[in-house]
Amino acid sequence: MSVIVPTHNSAKTLGACLAAVHRLRHPVTEVIVVDDASTDDTRAVARRFPCRLLVTDRNAGPAAARNRGIRAATGDLLFFLDSDCAPEPDALGNALAVLREQPDVACVHGIYALEPLFDDGPVEAYRLTHGHHWRLRHVGRVRTTLFAICLIRREVFDTVGLFDEKLRASEDVEIGDRMGDRYGIVLTDTVVCRHDDDSRLGSLLAKQFRRSQMLIPVALAERGPAGIRANSAAGLLTAA
């Protein structure tokens, strides 16, 4: 069992993330932190914990960081965590239970808690409420992978390839699209993490606009009962 944490300029949250990793009730073989050329104190924070720290010379994006972690990992099961997420103590054990109970499933990902990792105000509260509930609506078998908190069999990458390093966003959704019908994917509310989300409206809107451009083709492909949709048509009209 290898834990992989890609990170960039996350000195604020990485300590809470790694502390939560070491509180997991299920044992792990190794914890790998891949620092994607941070310019803050991220590496100093990582060195306070018993983990393997890999450092890149230039910022190449989360896909490249995840790929480096995969290549370095020794486990047959890979537990991915974003560096702004702190898993609940039972998160890994619950994800593993899904794999054991459903042998055709190769990927299990979870949901955000309503409680933030750090309380930064009403914009973050809105964002977490939205993120929590749209994931909750889709609990069960899905066709989309979200790697903020995700347990996956290593063999998947041997079959479909690694993350597309040309993508700076939605690279986890794209690899789920490549998994197609070959591997079962489950979204479960038993795998939970506290998340530190955007707290400023301007940066939130800019990020969502960038990501939405990448998600349009995926949204078209994900039509159907197993597709994940974060917003309903009525919700989009209301927001407009």
pLDDT exceeds cutoff 80 at 225 = no
Give residue 126's pLDDT band: very low, low, confident or very high (50, 70, 90): confident
* Domain topology for 2-239: Spore Coat Polysaccharide Biosynthesis Protein SpsA; Chain A (3.90.550)
Q: How far is CA 72 from the centre of its chain?
A: 19
State residue 179's pLDDT score.
Answer: 92
pLDDT exceeds cutoff 60 at 223 = no
State residue 52's pLDDT score.
Answer: 98
The residue with greater pLDDT, 109 or 237, is 109
Chain segment 11-32, per-residue pLDDT in tens: 999 999 999 999 999 999 999 9
CB within 8 Å of 158: residues ≥ 6 apart: none
Task: Assign 127 to helix, strand or coil.
Answer: helix
Q: What is the pTM of this model?
A: 0.87
d(CA 204, CA 213): 15
User: Which of 39-48, 82-91, 113-122, 202-211 bottoms out in mean pLDDT, i.e. has the lowest?
Assistant: 202-211
Averaged pLDDT score across all residues of the chain: 90
Give residue 169's pLDDT band: very low, low, confident or very high (50, 70, 90): confident
State residue 217's pLDDT score.
Answer: 56
pLDDT exceeds cutoff 70 at 64 = yes
Residue 10 identity = S
Task: Assign 226 to helix, strand or coil.
Answer: coil
pLDDT exceeds cutoff 60 at 226 = no
Q: Which residues pair with 151 in a beta bridge?
A: 79, 108
Cβ atoms of 33 and 46 within 8 Å: the answer is yes
pLDDT exceeds cutoff 60 at 224 = no
d(CA 46, CA 40): 12
State residue 4's pLDDT score.
Answer: 98
